[in-house]
Amino acid sequence: MQYKRFPLWEKGCLAAIIILILAALLPARSLEAKEDRPVVRVGYPIQQGLTEIDENGNYTGYIYDYLQEIAQYTGWDYEFVRAEGDINESLMTLMEMLENGEIDIMGGMLYNSRMEEMYDYASNSCGIVYTVLKVLYEDTAFNEASREERPLRVAMIDGAAQRREELEEYCRMNMLIPEIVPCDTEEEMLQALKENRADVMLSTSMEFMEGLRTVARFSPRPFYFVSTKGKTDLLNQLDKALQSIEQADPYFSASLYEQYFNPPNTELWLTSEEKKYVETAGTLKVGVLSDLPPYQYTDEVTGQLKGIGVDLLEKIQEQTGLSFQLVVAPDEKTLNRMAAEGSIDLVAGMNYDYELAKDRNVAMSRPYITTQYMLLISDRMQNRRLEEMSMAMVDGCGCYWEKTDTGVYFQSREDIVRAINSGKPYYSYMDAYVAQYYFNKTEFKSLKLIPQISIDSSTCIGVVKPASTELLSILNKVIQALPQDEMQSIIYANTIFKESPTLADYIKENPFQAAAAAGVVIFLIIAALAWGIFTKEKLNRKITLELAKHREIYGLVNDYFFEYDIKKDIFTISMKPDGNGEERTAIYNLKSGTDEKTDYRKQLLEIMVPGKDGIRELQLPEYKQNQTEDTLTLIWIRLAMKTIYDYKGNPVCIIGKMNDIEEERRERDKLKNQAERDGLTHAYNAKTSLRLIEERLQGLEEGNRGALLLIDIDKFKNINDTYGHMAGDQVLCEVAAVLRECFREEDIVGRPGGDEFVVYMDRMKENKALADTCERLLQNIRKINVANAGKVTISVGAVVTKRGDRYDEVYKLADNALYRAKREGRDGFFIA
């Protein structure tokens, strides 16, 4: 049979037709599959901590994370629906859409009977908000005073009836007598604390103020997901998912709360008893092992004590004023004897183990390092079972891994390592950092390290008994308050090192090459020069091998590690393992390349300067792997780096690690926004309003005009006295909402305090336009309808501003105009 041969152009047309058919069919199938998955429309108002969008446009927040966890059980996809306007306008719009069925669910809603008539609530809550008591960081009176001598002075918003009932119930249960210090604003409450007119201030767990810490929380109130009335099937799926989350992880909502509403406390505060202890303690003697690298050891070159524990003691000394004297203990047995005799007061570092603490007669601080244990074994023993070998232990250290009847004791950890490395039938368990220290030494090439995931190794400071309660508390506070980056710097400085290779090491590893090189050096000088070049390359490869071993052990922790080869211009990042456990790396040339990552390469190149070691912060791309390809997103990272030199002292490469600080930066931005806004009305607070208006006045150009309006709610005290402060708070919120509606987005709307508001407008052409604006504002205020609050009106004092005006002068004119408007019968305005 003969086959017809198609011309080349016919083959090309046939291939093109097949590609077009496949391109038309495949997306349709993909779309079909996606349409099978239910899409739930979620109301998404922008609220700090709850529902946010970061600077890269990514959704984030407490409710967003909760929704993603719910989707694991329901298979839902989400369509996040946002509304224009400020938070109040956005919430009102989305709640109306929810009532009409235009969206399906919203989260973060407190329960009340009126809303239950409009929406269906989920059976299980998705979080708890508490009423809390806060004090100044430096104030320790609440913690250390018995309160029997005088009442507990509590600063709180005047007229907050519900919170007052909650406070009185808390005080009754704790046998405290409350004395209320009434205030109109949060700023006034803070001032009462600073002026010692109040001991504590009343707030909620989701409100953050700089310089305060929480000392008590009570009266929990749950918040929920709500859905449109009648969507029974959706609500049943939601309830089942919430129940499943609670059963799988009872602490899920608590973890989210810590992540989004409880920023880490790095402030160190001591009670009066602790300060007194520091003043009278004198010099404390600290037992320091000389054979526990990298935690505690004697430097072979300088003879000085070094290590993570020693550096931490220096930090404690700097921050507290305590004085330490380091006492060398050559081994564990000596250290135990010193503790038993009372010749030392502290142990610089020990395993956080209750049995060991009991044997040593010490109390333990909180751990300052937690890492994995490693199984140490010789590569010549890997085919033998552990039951056939003996466990090697340090005499006096104790071992609680298993029965140790058949164990073999050694004087030091280095003796254990040498015995295992020699191929004897021993094995041992060591802290990952200690094991890596010995593994990095070229003389221990037969060692194999196997991570153990069943138990962690935690290191703490021991306090010899009878232990001072104040000393133990001081140590715990410093460990807790020490910033994570400082602790990582201490660890990094003591664990990342370059061991200088010796001639004996090289000859041992390369006997034939060394012998040949020695013969060539004797008989041929030119060959000796060539050999020198060869050995230099070998050294470079050795450094690369050392770095590879570092990456292997540090792959156990949640960090990225990098290496920059200065001569070859190769920047390598060791990335997290993929789903198959395979290690992945990203490699760049920083001095060349024209793709979308060029700008980030330039940033890295500016930082990668030999000799300028330390810590830097910058934005870099992060790769996330999905089913089809790696995607790139920008994240803030912190780099810790160190320059590595060759045997001639020339910089060869720069190594270091990267930490993801995206959450830390996001939390910093969130706190800044909270500090500028009034907690009730979300208008600018007094301090921010003053700053912004002064900036606008200073920026006025010649011939341009602005306007400053002072607004006061008429007879607001009567509203509070007659209908209660909850009605008063609602009136304040409604007035603030009308102000935002009546003025432009770029205008400044602030609340200096109480029932007074201030507005500043740019580009005011004439008094008539200002008068029209004031009249329109009065009309809109009259439309406010707050149940049981009566008619709401305002008085307005306004003044036109020009270049050169000062804020205090303009404010005084507006205040006089406001007084004139009130004197003429209220519900009106007057322009100065």
pLDDT number for residue 502? 61
Cα end-to-end distance, the chain, whole Å:
106
**CA–CA separation, 729 and 184 (whole Å):** 11
DSSP H helical ranges for 343-393: 354-360
Q: Which fold has domain 507-662?
A: Beta-Lactamase (3.30.450)
pTM greater than the 0.85 cutoff:
no
Widest pairwise Cα distance in the chain: 114
pLDDT, the chain, mean: 82
pLDDT of residue 102: 94
Span of 47-51, 140-144, 191-195, 758-762 with lowest mean pLDDT: 140-144
Q: What is the pLDDT of residue 145?
A: 45
CB 786 within 8 A of CB 769: no
Higher-confidence residue of 630 and 142: namely 142
From the list 392, 284, 282, 292, the residue with the least C-alpha distance to 335 is: 292
Please report where in the chains the tokens 């709401």 appear, as a residue: 792
Position 509 scores a pLDDT of 60
Neighbours of 391 (CB within 10 A): 19
Q: How many other C-beta atoms lie within 10 A of the C-beta of residue 210?
A: 10
The arithmetic mean of pLDDT across residues 142-162, rounded, is 75
The domain spans of the chain are 272-495, 507-662, 677-831
Average pLDDT over residues 293-299: 87
Model confidence pLDDT, tens digit, residues 697-745: 898 888 889 999 999 999 888 888 888 888 888 889 989 999 989 998 8
Which residues face 749 on adjacent strands?
759
pLDDT of residue 116 exceeding 80, the answer is yes
User: Per mean pLDDT, which range of 13-17, 52-56, 598-602, 659-663 is the poorest?
Assistant: 13-17
DSSP characters over 496-524? ---PPP-HHHHHHH-HHHHHHHHHHHHH-
Q: Say how far apart CA 493 and CA 433 lie, in whole Å.
A: 12
Contact present, 203 and 196 (Cβ < 8 Å): no
Contacts of 420 (CB under 8 A, 6+ apart): 376, 377, 378, 392, 426, 427, 428, 446, 447
Structure tokens at 219: 């009266």
In tens, the pLDDT along 504-514 reads 656 666 666 76
In degrees, rounded to 5, the angle at the alpha carbon of residue 297 between the alpha carbons of residues 293 and 301 is 110
What sign results for the dihedral spanned by CA atoms 510, 512, 518, 523? negative
Nearest to 370 by CA among 285, 467, 484, 502: 484
* pLDDT of 98: 93
Cβ 711 vs Cβ 796: under 8 Å: yes
Q: Are 336 and 360 in contact (CB under 8 A)?
A: yes
C-alpha separations of 155 from 150, 159, 164, 195, 687 in Å: 15, 12, 11, 12, 20
Q: Residue 190 has what pLDDT?
A: 92
The rounded percent of the chain whose pLDDT value lies above 90 is: 29
Per-residue exposure over 345-381, b if at least 16 CB sit within 10 Å of its own CB, e if not = bbbbbbbbbeebbeebebbbbeebbebbbbbbbbeeb
Supply the pLDDT for residue 156. Answer: 94
**CATH code for the structural domain at 677-831:** 3.30.70.270
- The predicted pLDDT at position 631 comes to 60
CA atoms of 69 and 208, how far apart (whole Å): 26
Classify residue 170 by its DSSP letter.
H
More confident residue, 773 or 454: 773
Q: Judge residue 202's burial from the number of C-beta atoms within 10 Å of its C-beta, 0-12 exposed, 13-18 middle, 19 or more buried.
A: buried
Q: What SS3 state is found at 192?
A: helix
At 393, list the tokens. Answer: 């232990």
Q: What is the pLDDT of residues 437-449, one digit of tens each?
A: 888 887 887 888 8
pLDDT in tens, 125-136: 888 888 999 988
Give the CATH number of domain 272-495.
3.40.190.10
From CA 95, how far away is CA 107, in angstroms rounded? 11
Q: Is 334 exposed, middle or buried (0-12, 13-18, 19+ CB in 10 A)?
A: middle
**DSSP letter at 700?**
P
> d(Cα 82, Cα 52) in Å, to the nearest integer?
11
Cα gap 15→10, rounded to integer Å: 9
Q: In 1-138, at which residue ranges do the beta strands (DSSP E only) sit?
A: 39-43, 52-53, 59-60, 77-81, 105-110, 119-121, 127-136
Quick one: pLDDT at residue 25? 42
Chain segment 501-548, per-residue pLDDT in tens: 566 656 666 666 767 777 777 777 887 777 777 777 777 677 666 655
List the strands of the sheet with 829-831, edge to edge: 748-753, 756-761, 706-713, 794-801, 829-831
Radius of gyration of the chain (CA): 35
Query: The tokens of 753 are what?
Result: 């305090």
Stretch 651-667: mean pLDDT: 83
Q: Which two tokens stand for residue 334?
A: 């000596």
Long-range contacts: 248-251, Cβ < 8 Å, 24+?
Answer: none
- Section 212-232 average pLDDT: 90
The C-alpha torsion from 196 through 202 and 204 to 207, rounded to 10°, is -30
Alpha-carbon span 551 to 657, nearest angstrom: 10
Residue 79: name the closest of 50, 104, 58, 99 by CA.
104
Q: Is the pLDDT of residue 340 over 90?
A: no
What is the crossing angle of helices 413-421 and 432-439, to 10°? 50
Residue 483 identity (one-letter amino acid): P
Q: Which of 111-115, 565-569, 582-586 is predicted with the least confidence, judged by mean pLDDT?
A: 582-586
pLDDT at 27 over 60: no
Average pLDDT over residues 222-235: 92
Task: Please tell me the distance from the alpha carbon of residue 82 to that of residue 91, in angstroms, as a whole number.
Answer: 9
User: Which residue, among 819, 820, 817, has the nearest Cα to 831 in the 3D structure?
Assistant: 817
- Mean pLDDT for the stretch of residues 67-89: 92
Look at residue 16 in the predicted model and tell me its pLDDT. Answer: 43
Pairwise pLDDT comparison (264 vs 467), residue with the higher score: 467
Q: What is the length of the chain? A: 832
Is-contact 369 458, C-beta < 8 A? yes
What CA–CA distances, in Å, run from 11 to 6, 8, 16? Answer: 7, 5, 9
Q: What is the DSSP letter of 684?
A: B
Choose between 556 and 74: higher pLDDT: 74
Distance CA 560, CA 671 (A): 28
Q: Which amino acid is at 608?
A: M
Residue among 475, 462, 472 nearest 364 (CA)? 462
pLDDT in tens, 778-802: 999 998 888 767 788 999 999 999 9
